Structure 1
Amino acid sequence: MIDLIILRDFLVFCETKSCSRTAERCHVSVSGLSRRIQGLETWAGTVLFERRKGELVLTEAGHSLQTIASQALGSFDRFRHSIADDINDQQRRIRFCSPHVISTMFFPQWMPCLQAQFT
């Protein structure tokens, strides 16, 4: 199973193409990051980066994983934010239980005043 943190590290690695800069941005050691990327390559069953003259170049599989990881992490982030927004919305909500007469006579005039006070 792949860890979301490793996918985030991989995307930063794709962006910086530097082990030391990626390790610094991800707050891990260079050796820890290297082990994570190697583990990711083992999980994928292929090499994701080619090392050329001190430069890292994404392989075709690396480009595919980069696209998929960006989409997946974006989806997870949107999900997490939507859940947080739903919770915040529920905390701001007020519910009233009242007889029909009150809800038709009192609430229509009272609600605009109440909303004006809280916005």
Structure 2
Amino acid sequence: MDIRQLKHFVALSETLHFGRASEACHISSSALSRSIKQLEDTLGVALFERDNRTVTLTREGEKFQAYARDALSQWDMIRHTLLEDASQLHGEISMYCSVTASYSFLHDILRRFRSRFPGIEIKLHTGEPGPAVSRVINGDEDVSIAARPDHLPASLAFKSTGLSPLYFIAPVDDPVLNPLVEQEVNAIDWRKVPMILPEKDLARRRVDQWFSNKGIKPNIYAQVAGNEAIVSMVSLGFGIGVVPKIVLDNSPLADRVKVLSVTPTLAAYDVGVCVLKKKLKNPLIEAFWSQLDTDT
């Protein structure tokens, strides 16, 4: 069976960019364009709207995207079921994680997995940690390294790989900020302390709850998308920040900030791997999932 057109379509539907999609598919942009046109001719509908600047999915394209992803997943499952007696699994798994997680938690996982299943290719996408869970739920990735949500969706399976405390951090030596926080912890007037907080997601919810429990409206100086940027701004003396320990441990600016002994402490991140339960039927993903038991 020739499933290349489905792979070409999925690549373009995810990137919405002919150059990046053709590079991912290892073909030229013109060849990709021809493949998509042939698929559209076969279906009798336009899957993309495109002009000189943008590429977007049509309504029909959005419907076909769900089918194409499922068809490719089913193809992988039946192919490996038919070849279950083969000595080695082959194929690819798409994965998402933050940049920090890629060289901390993920490093050892992939090192061991690679040695056991060299025929399985990992397509790694990195970005901010916030969308990690939603990218799995939406079908954009097979697996993600993520902080366990307070309420895990029923459709998801989650395996913990370790805990990462959430820290309040301050600049090491700042004449303005240090007098505000270098006193007995219960005496700190948090209404006067400028805060640099995550824009949203799990860490922000926990910080907001922390201030709410104290009956305090935080003095927010900045709301930042990336944890690494929070460390940077704190090191420059813009305010007090909140970041996971994993970020601080791997930051080149770690020696320019200090951890504050704040009470009560924030609940730690439970960092782990998440996957849709239905995808565990895929032999490739099941192999990755099973080997996590030997890593932790």
Shorter-normalised TM-score: what interval?
0.5 to 0.7
Amino acid at match of 2:39: L
SS in 1 for 2:45: coil
Q: Does 1:72 align with 2:71?
A: yes
Greater Cα shift, 50-59 or 38-47: 50-59
Report whether the alignment pairs 1:84 with 2:87.
Answer: no
Q: Provide the C-alpha distance between the structure 1 equivalents of 2:58 and 2:79, rounded to a whole number of angstroms.
A: 31
1:22-41 to 2 correspondence within 5 Å? 22-41=21-40
| Residue aligning to 2:19 | 20
Cα distance in 2 between the residues matched to 1:52 and 1:35: 16
- Structure number, greater radius of gyration: 1
Aligned counterparts of 2:84 and 2:2: Cα–Cα separation in 1:
25
TM-score if structure 1 supplies the norm length?
0.66
**Alpha-carbon distance change, 72 to 26 in structure 1, aligned in 2, over 3 angstroms:** same
Q: Tell me if 1:59 matches 2:58.
A: yes
**Partner of 1:8 in structure 2?**
7
Tell me the alpha carbon deviations over residues 59-99 of structure 1, each in whole angstroms, 9 at most, x when there is no partner: 111011111111111111001112222345xxxxxxxxxxx
TM-superposed deviation, 1:3? 3.8
Q: Read off the aligned partner of 2:82 and give its amino acid letter.
A: I
In 2, Cα distance between the equivalents of 1:3 and 1:18?
A: 23
- Compare 47-56 and 15-24 and name the one that shifted more: 47-56
Aligned to 2:265: none
Distance 1:84 1:30, change over 3 A: same
For the residues of structure 2 that align with 1:58 and 1:28, how far apart are their CA atoms? 21
Deviation at 1:43, TM superposition (A): 0.8
* Corresponding residue SS for 2:27: coil
- Specify the alignment match of 2:215 in structure 1: none
Instruction: Classify the secondary structure of the residue corresponding to 1:50.
Output: strand
Partner SS for 1:85: coil
- Alpha-carbon RMSD: 1.8
Partner Cα separation in structure 2 for residue 24 and residue 53 of structure 1: 19
**Alpha carbons of structure 1 residues 61 and 21: separation in structure 2 relative to 1, 3 Å:** same
* AA matched with 2:32: L
Letter paired with 1:39: Q
Could you tell me how far apart the structure 2 residues matched to 1:74 and 1:11 are?
A: 12
- 1:5-61 Cα shifts (integer Å, max 9, x gaps): 010110011111111111111111111110001111111111111126712111111
Match of 1:106? none
| Distance across 1 between alignment mates of 2:43 and 2:2 | 13
CA distance in 1, matches of 2:62, 2:51: 16
Q: Which runs of 5+ in 1 are unaligned?
A: 89-119
Q: Which amino acid aligns with 1:45?
A: G
C-alpha distance in 1 between matches for 2:36 and 2:52: 19
